[in-house]
Amino acid sequence: MVSFDNTEIAFKSKSTKDLKRAYWLFKMVSNRAMVKFGKWATNIAIKLRLPIDGIIKKTIFKQFCGGTSIEDSLATSKELAAFNVQTILDYSVEGKTKEEDFDATVSEIINTILEAKNNDSIPFAVFKVTGICLFATLENANNGVENHSAEELQRYTKLVERVDAICSKAHEHKVPLFIDAEETWIQNTIDEIVVQMSKKYNKGSAIIFNTLQLYRHDRLNYLRSEIELAKKGNYKLGMKLVRGAYMEKERERAEEKGYPSPIQPTKEATDKDFNEALKVVVENLDTVSLCAGSHNEESAKVLMKLMGEHNIDVNDSRIFFAQLLGMSDHISYNLANANYNVAKYVPYGPVKEVLPYLIRRAEENTSVAGQTTRELSLIIKERKRRSAK
């Protein structure tokens, strides 16, 4: 069994300077007040047009991002590949509202697919639907597109065309494509589009992957129903399983608008459903390909155990583990060292435009119980090991 306590393997790619920077960053994000202040100060600095790019680029950007462009990020990809860790290029620019910006983002996503088709170290492409349309387009469609104006229907049609253009290119070049999950009040729209694309492009193998957030109490049953639909429709399913990224926002909105929270009652319930979802997928591997996007050690062990029980090769192409760049290296590198398929999400984009992503990373590290403490304890352990040599 792989040991996630082996810090020598986990941090083999990191210099002592890298470890020091990571230590201070995780120390900062472990402080909720510090994260709130940092978010406020950053927003003020941007409004005042202060020259903060350099500071951000040398600190939090360097920890969690691959670069400002695809070309810039390939150096990070090469460093990961040296340790058998693959790359998922993630164009992490958010908050655009103009049609020309959406079209530019589609072109950029397609560029990541074109990079992946010739690069064995890049097994997947990925995108967020809110990166290529107005949030309101998804929200309106969630309530039924037939009830809306001609202009709204036109926007929705344009969105589907954009998604189809990306999926078509992924299918043409045989590059599996993750479509990220988002807030519950737009997710039905995303699910419907993903099912449409899966039926169209997943006939021979899983090219289009949906993303299920298992902190939602309805997703395990959704997974089971999608597997049955795929079997009946004779197409493959791609599923990326994650715990989720919008928990606090979801609970607040449910309370504010007076509807039942879509979120699991406890973390234990989320963990239980996540691990059960792994089991469901492994038992249906002839239909479903899996990416387990998790920073949870126990879930990684559950998946390894399931693979062993079902005599599945550690490097079976239908199963990948994935973590975010700059986080959970003890999981990524130790799994990769044992020849499991492992990929890091490598976000990239202009510094100021990926700031919303970076701020969210900091907030998530603060809110996930034990995550930052574990990162810090492993960094401290490795620094002590090195100094004792």
Compute CA distances 73 → 65, 67, 176, 335, 385, whole Å. Answer: 8, 5, 20, 23, 30
Report CA torsion sign: 253, 258, 262, 265: positive
pLDDT for position 169: 98
Question: 324: which residues sit within 8 A by CB, 6+ positions away?
Answer: 64, 295, 344, 345, 347, 361
pLDDT at 358 over 80: no
Q: Residue 1 carries which DSSP code?
A: -
Q: pLDDT (tens digit, 9 = 90+) per residue, 16-33? A: 999 998 888 888 777 666
Q: Let me know: does 148 contact 202? Beta carbons within 8 Å.
A: no
Q: Let me know: does 109 contact 91? Beta carbons within 8 Å.
A: yes
What is the Cα Rg of the chain in Å?
Answer: 20
Q: Let me know: does 346 contact 76? Beta carbons within 8 Å.
A: yes
Angle between helices 16-29 and 32-47 (to 10 degrees): 100
Q: Name the residue among 279, 335, 290, 312 with its Cα closest to residue 124.
A: 290
Q: Residue 216 carries which DSSP code?
A: B
Q: Name the residue among 210, 229, 217, 200 with its Cα closest to residue 291.
A: 210
Q: Name the residue among 262, 244, 258, 195 with its Cα closest to residue 364.
A: 244
pLDDT for position 42: 57
User: Angle CA(307)–CA(334)–CA(209) in degrees, nearest 5?
Assistant: 55
Cα 21 to Cα 26: distance, rounded to the nearest angstrom: 9
Q: Per mean pLDDT, which range of 128-132, 206-210, 285-289, 362-366 is the poorest?
A: 362-366
pLDDT for position 297: 95
Burial class (CB in 10 A: 0-12, 13-18, 19+), 17: exposed
Q: Residue 2 carries which DSSP code?
A: -
Question: 20: which residues sit within 8 A by CB, 6+ positions away?
Answer: 383
Confidence of residue 370 (pLDDT cuts 50, 70, 90): low
CA terminus-to-terminus distance, the chain:
27
Is pTM beyond 0.75? Reply is: yes
Q: pLDDT (tens digit, 9 = 90+) per residue, 231-244? A: 999 999 999 999 98
Q: Name the residue among 350, 324, 344 with its Cα closest to residue 79.
A: 344
What does the pLDDT average to over 94-122?
94
Tell me which amino acid residue 44 is.
I
What does the pLDDT average to over 126-131?
96
**Can you give the residue ranges of every domain in the chain?**
67-353
Q: pLDDT (tens digit, 9 = 90+) per residue, 62-101? A: 888 999 999 999 999 999 999 999 999 999 988 788 999 9
Q: Residue 132 carries which DSSP code?
A: S
pLDDT at 50 over 80: no
pLDDT at 37 over 70: no
What does the pLDDT average to over 123-139?
95
What does the pLDDT average to over 133-143?
91
Backbone angles phi, psi at 304, to 5 degrees: -60, -45
| CATH of the domain spanning 67-353 | 3.20.20.220
Instruction: Round the average pLDDT of the chain to a whole number and report it.
Output: 90
Residue 276, Cβ neighbours under 10 Å: how many? 15
pLDDT at 363 over 90: no
Backbone angles phi, psi at 235, to 5 degrees: -135, 165
